[in-house]
Amino acid sequence: MGIDDLVDLDCEELLVRLNSIGNLREKNSIIVAIGNYKCDAAYETLRNHVRTNLRHQALIAMGKINYNKTIGVFVDILRVENKGKAVNRAIETLSYVLANRIELTGIDKFIEELGIILPKYLDSGNYLDGKVKRIMSRALRDSAKILKVESVYLAMARDTLYS
């Protein structure tokens, strides 16, 4: 079952399938479809998949549904997993979430939102949060590469991150 087979299903039907199928490839396709629908009711179900092999797609879909909450989930993940392959995969995933948001809102609105969202989740005096900011800075750089955004915008986003 591919993503094209899921186009005619509504969000509720997708959730039923997600919870009843054991095949990871099919679950992955369903998660992508749920993210494309931006189905609010699916957010918590997707959050249950963050600690599974489906983390990457679940987080990208969650970012499409509720960007603000998903940034908080990333901060929590990065506080715990701050080195090695896990952090590299988190950076890759976060890069796609940020790139999707930039495409949706535009770079100026994205930078404005970043300045509002991050203070809710990060404490500037916390050593761990300094590491999280450095990791998020790498994700910003990678999202700029994905979108081929000019470096001046990346600098503005990084300034917002560290302010």
Tens place of pLDDT for every residue, the chain, 163 residues? 555 667 677 888 888 888 888 888 888 888 888 887 777 878 888 888 877 778 888 899 899 899 989 998 888 888 887 678 888 888 899 999 999 999 999 888 998 998 888 888 877 666 667 788 888 888 888 888 888 877 677 777 778 777 7
Statement to judge: residues 18 and 71 lie in one domain: no
How many structural domains compose the chain?
2
- pLDDT at position 43, please? 83
**Residue 136 to residue 143: CA distance in whole angstroms:** 10
Statement to judge: residues 116 and 81 lie in one domain: yes
Q: Of 29, 50, 65, which residue constitutes the final position of a domain?
A: 65
Statement to judge: residues 123 and 154 lie in one domain: yes
Statement to judge: residues 5 and 24 lie in one domain: yes
Which amino acid belongs to residue 163?
S
- CA triplet 55, 67, 118: central angle to 5 degrees? 105
- Tokens 């997600």 appear where? 18
Q: Of 65, 96, 116, which residue constitutes the final position of a domain?
A: 65
Statement to judge: residues 41 and 117 lie in one domain: no
Contact assessment for residue 163 and residue 115, using Cβ atoms and an 8 Å cutoff:
yes
Q: Torsion angle, CA of 162/144/104/67, rounded to 10 degrees?
A: -50
Closest Cα partner for 66 from 89, 49, 47? Answer: 47
Q: Give residue 74's domain range.
A: 67-163
Contact assessment for residue 134 and residue 126, using Cβ atoms and an 8 Å cutoff:
no
Q: Of 65, 93, 118, which residue constitutes the final position of a domain?
A: 65
